[in-house]
Amino acid sequence: MSTLQRPRQTPHTAQRGFTLVELMIVVAIVGILTAIAYPSYVSHMQKTRRATAAGCLMELAQWTERNYTTCLAYNRTGAGCATALTSAELPNLTCRTDLAGIYTFGYSANPSATAYILQAVPGAPQAGDTACATLTLNQAGAKGASGTTPAGCWR
C-alpha cells in the first residue's frame, strides 16, 4: 500500500454560498432602504437648486442695481443708456449657466424706469418643487414665491 491516502469523500459535501431565501431578504432590505432614501434625495436636490436660484436672483438684482447707478433708470442699459433693458440683456452669469434647463431667469415684465421684478421659473427637473415654484425679487428687495407654501423658500 502507498503511504498517501485519498481524502474520504462523502456522498453529500457541504456547499458554500447564498440560498435564494437569503438573497431575497437582502433584496427586500435594499428595496425598503431605497424607498426611504430616494424621496429624501429628491427633496434635498430641489432645495439645493432652489437655494442656488435664489442666490442667482440676488446676483442679477445686484447687476440691475449697478446698471441703475449708471443710467438712473432700471429700463435702460448700454452705451449712453440708449438700449431698452429686457430679459435678453441680463448678464450671462455662471449661476445661470449652471441652472440652465432647471430654472429660467428673466424679468416678469420689462422693467420700468423705477421698478423691476426678476423671476426664476422652474423647468422640468424642478417641476416637483410645488412648495416654492417661481421665485421673484423686486427693486425693493421684496422676495416672493408662487408655490403652495412660499414662507420658507428664501432661507
Contact indicator for 71, 83 with CB cutoff of 8 Å? no
Q: Which three cell numbers stand for residue 12?
A: 453529500
Dihedral angle over CA of 76, 93, 97, 130, nearest 10: -70
Contact indicator for 61, 137 with CB cutoff of 8 Å? yes
For the segment 8-62, what is each residue's pLDDT rounded down to a tens digit? 666 666 667 888 999 999 999 999 999 999 999 999 999 999 999 999 999 999 9
* pLDDT of amino acid 7: 64
Using DSSP, state whether 9 is helix, strand or coil: coil
What CA–CA distance (Å, rounded) separates 85 from 139?
14
User: Is the per-residue pLDDT at 79 higher than 70?
Assistant: yes
Q: Which three cell numbers stand for residue 124?
A: 422640468
For the segment 129-155, what is each residue's pLDDT rounded down to a tens digit? 999 999 999 999 999 999 888 888 998
